Amino acid sequence: MSASDTPSSSGVRVCGVRFENIEKRFGSLIALRGVSADIQPGEFVALLGPNGAGKTTLLRITALLMSPTSGKLRFISARGNADSPDSAPAANGSSPEQTKRLIGMVGHSIFLYDEMSASENLNLFGQLYGLDNLSARVTAALAACGLASRAGSLVRTFSRGMRQRLSIARALLHGPRLLLLDEPAAGLDKQGLEWFGATLSRLRNEGCTVMMSTHARNESLELATRVISLRGGRVEYDTGTGGDPRPRLAALRAEAG
Amino acid sequence: MGTSRAAAILLAKELRLEFRTREILTATVVFVLIVIMLFSYVFEPTAGESRRYGPGLLWISFLFAGSLMLHPSFAREQTNDTLDALRMAPVSPFSILLGKLLANFVFLSITEAVLVPVFAVLYNLSLTGVAGRLAIVLLLGTLGLVTTGTVFSAISAHARMRELLLPLLLLPILAPLLIAAVEATTALFSEQPVLDRTWVPFLLGFDIVFLSASWLLCGFLIEE
């Protein structure tokens, strides 16, 4: 399953996101303190930082699962191809339903029903996204994530790694142009990690924008074109668009031992 | 995607999950059958007493059934955060609420379909000649009960002590509906059965008000 095989249900080819002074409070706790960043379409952003830095909150705000207390979130999308992202801006002013078609998310939870089979889960979400050729898409998605032989098995019978692979397949089913990944490699075995790495690599080549929260040792970080580190709800550093994230990643790995 | 299409997809999901696990229906039907049988042994009702007390006992049983089945409605979406997955899909918040509401309506209607004939036998009441009109009262009362209950299930799902919170929130709001439903049912079981012209329109009005309120407030209910 690839984004080019399964173009976004919105018809949009590329999507970026702009954070303008985002602040998020939970009562007296301030999770994000004026986060600003301009994520260009096609960028692969590694979101790093210690526990409680605000990574998950930022991803959930981007997924429209929560609203910022203050600040603005803007999506920048175009119907052209990844090489000409400015060809026809589309998402600004779009309805939340249209914007949601651009976004796929893998979170801490798997977002799947335990008492439904793998194929029933994918069919359900495919129907909600109004996808064409759903049966073929679901078959392809299950084959891609290595679960074709367990298509009819209930999710509750799956191992942690199988559940995570299915969760990733669910997030990619509608061909999102902005992929949000929150510790996506959790529970994946060596085979699963290889499949996941290859999938991310293909998505990056196809111009899909990726924001991935992870730890410094994750091998998928080699794909990152930009590193944003959060600490205490603030941007600690940002290698920026076009910057080289490798020295920073190397330093982080050395720090982590 | 239209609200009705999305709600139909979600209703199908709810029915599939329930008929696979039978978590809600089995427990509820068994519980209310026990309640209605216990009441009949305690009161040993004659036909006259049944006409007076029966409708109240019947709607108390429906209220118990509703309280039992409405709580898991949103609470079970917390496993694996599936409500977040629904919120990320390009469907309106009202379609999510409507899918739940319709599923609860189906579940409570099935419970009532089992309970009412048993009730008629145990309480010496005849359904002949009133079945159609009773169905109207049950439909309006059930719709009001599940609309209000589904809304409060969404509100209480994120709260601590949610099992306690739902009945506490629900009972005061449902009091007018229950009074109207009992009065309308009593009128049907009287010696000259009539479809009450005060309480039946009241039930209809209650349903319209709470359905409209759920449509207006669904964004706040389903969101964060």
Query: What is the arithmetic mean of pLDDT over B30-35?
Result: 92
Structural domain range at position B192? 3-222
The answer to whether A97 contacts B21, with C-beta atoms less than 8 Å apart, is: no
What are the structural domain ranges in chain A? 14-80+103-256
Q: Tokens 């089979």 correspond to what residue?
A: A117
DSSP E strands, A79-162: 103-106
Better-predicted residue by pLDDT, B159 or A131? A131
Report whether pLDDT(A2) > 50. Answer: no
Q: Which of B17, B82, B92 sits opposite A111 (nearest CB)?
A: B82
Q: Which residues pair with A250 in a beta bridge?
A: none
* Number of domains, chain B: 1
The CA distance from B73 to the nearest CA of chain A, in Å, is 14
pLDDT for B167: 82
The CA distance from B152 to the nearest CA of chain A, in Å, is 21
pLDDT for A81: 44
The answer to whether B81 contacts A111, with C-beta atoms less than 8 Å apart, is: yes
Query: What is the arithmetic mean of pLDDT over A251-255?
Result: 74
> pLDDT of A80-130, one tens digit each?
443 333 333 444 556 788 889 999 999 989 999 999 999 999 999 999 999
Query: What is the arithmetic mean of pLDDT over B175-197?
Result: 92
Instruction: Please tell me the distance from the alpha carbon of residue A235 to that of residue A220, in angstroms, as a whole number.
Output: 22
CATH class of A14-80+103-256: alpha beta
CA distances from B157 to A115, B63, B98 (A): 20, 19, 16
> pLDDT of A129-172, one tens digit each?
999 999 999 999 999 999 999 999 999 999 999 999 999 999 99
Query: What is the arithmetic mean of pLDDT over B23-44?
Result: 88
Q: Which of A114, A116, A125 sits opposite B89 (nearest CB)?
A: A125
Which of A41-45, A86-90, A105-109, B19-23 comes out lowest in average pLDDT?
Answer: A86-90
What pTM was estimated for this model as a whole?
0.88
Query: What is the arithmetic mean of pLDDT over B174-183?
Result: 96
Q: What percentage of chain A exceeds 90 in pLDDT?
A: 62
* Residue-averaged pLDDT of chain A: 86
pLDDT for A84: 37
Report whether pLDDT(B188) > 50. Answer: yes
Six-digit token string for B144: 């009001």
Cβ atoms of A54 and A48 within 8 Å: the answer is no
Nearest to A137 by CA among A3, A4, A6: A6
Q: What percentage of chain B exceeds 70 in pLDDT?
A: 99
Measured between beta carbons, the chain B residues lying within 8 angstroms of A105 are: 88
Cβ atoms of A168 and A192 within 8 Å: the answer is no
Q: Count of H helices and E strands in chain B?
A: 8, 0
Query: What single letter denotes the amino acid at residue B26?
Result: T
Q: What percentage of chain B exceeds 90 in pLDDT?
A: 61
